[in-house]
Amino acid sequence: MIQLIECVPNFSEGRNQSKVNAIADEISKVQDVELIGLEMDYDHNRSVMTCIGVPNGIALGVYNACLKATELIDLREHQGIHPRIGATDVIPLIPLVNSSMAECVTLARVIGRRIAHTIGIPVFYYGSAFLNPQNEILANIRRGEFERMVHNSLLDKQLGQDVGPSRIHHSAGAVAIGVRDILIAFNINLRSRNIKIARQLAREIRERDGGLPGVKALGFKLHHEQCVQVSMNITDYRQTSLSEVYRVISLKSHQMGVDIL
């Protein structure tokens, strides 16, 4: 009985195609793992890879990709609008076929220990894999980003990591590894350069501020695209559909006199 798991690692490089390809190759060359998606974003300076495979294959591919990202990405030189703590920023695991959340949590811990002990990167567990309740929400781990962790390390403050060194890796930062259900990333660009508009729309649409259930949102300014963006994660598409999100954003942006691109 074959088991399949989805993994969507995010890397803090979205401008150098050769570096992104080198990281992706570490995943695609592993047997019984299929790299089915790769997206790069210049303004976010981030790449998102989607792979599906058997548990052991996913563990090997993601570890090798993290090792390559540590070699190629230096966060001290990184500039991008998306929050990040690491060269390999986040590694979410999603159960697909004949696999469970509990089995993905076990796999997350295996991957985390190997990254922590062999590459020397602090690891935080989030989502259904959390150990520290404060780390269940990814945004709590990312607060202040790589720079805050560097500052805390210089002051010998505890990082709060779950496994690995208590000081941040000097160039690769830290990594968050989690287990979650299927998530849909959905970005809407607006015909405006006013970041206040994007942030207001994000605030009105996201669940935590009384918006749509299962929606997380931030407003970003895309300098390369010369517009602003409402960047969203739909954490429960059963509660809120993409069409509903688009409808609400369209209505609210129209009321503000701004068109969707």
Return the pLDDT at 250.
Answer: 94
Question: Global pTM?
Answer: 0.90
User: Which CATH number does the domain 184-255 belong to among 3.30.70.670, 3.30.465.10, 1.10.150.170, 3.30.70.2740?
Assistant: 3.30.70.670
Compute the mean pLDDT over every residue in the chain, rounded to the nearest whole number: 95
CA angle 137, 140, 142 (to 5 degrees): 115
Q: Is 169 assigned a catalytic role?
A: no
In 3D space, the residue among 245, 237, 243 whose CA is nearest the CA of residue 214 turns out to be 237
pLDDT above 80: residue 158: no
Return the pLDDT at 160.
Answer: 87
Express each pLDDT in 101-157 by its tens digit.
Answer: 999 999 999 999 999 999 999 999 999 999 999 999 999 999 999 999 998 877 667
Return the pLDDT at 159.
Answer: 80
- Catalytic hit among 44, 78, 82, 169: 82
Ranges of each domain in the chain: 4-179, 184-255
DSSP state, 196? H
Return the pLDDT at 12.
Answer: 98
Return the pLDDT at 151.
Answer: 87
Express each pLDDT in 191-231 by its tens digit.
Answer: 999 999 999 999 999 999 999 999 999 999 999 989 999 99
CATH topology of domain 4-179: Formiminotransferase-cyclodeaminase; Chain B, domain 1 (3.30.990)
pLDDT above 80: residue 171: yes
Cα distances from 70 to residues 60, 167, 192, in angstroms, run 15, 16, 36
Same fold, 4-179 and 184-255: no
Q: Which two tokens stand for residue 19?
A: 């570096």
Return the pLDDT at 155.
Answer: 64
Express each pLDDT in 237-260 by its tens digit.
Answer: 889 999 999 999 999 999 999 999
Return the pLDDT at 156.
Answer: 64
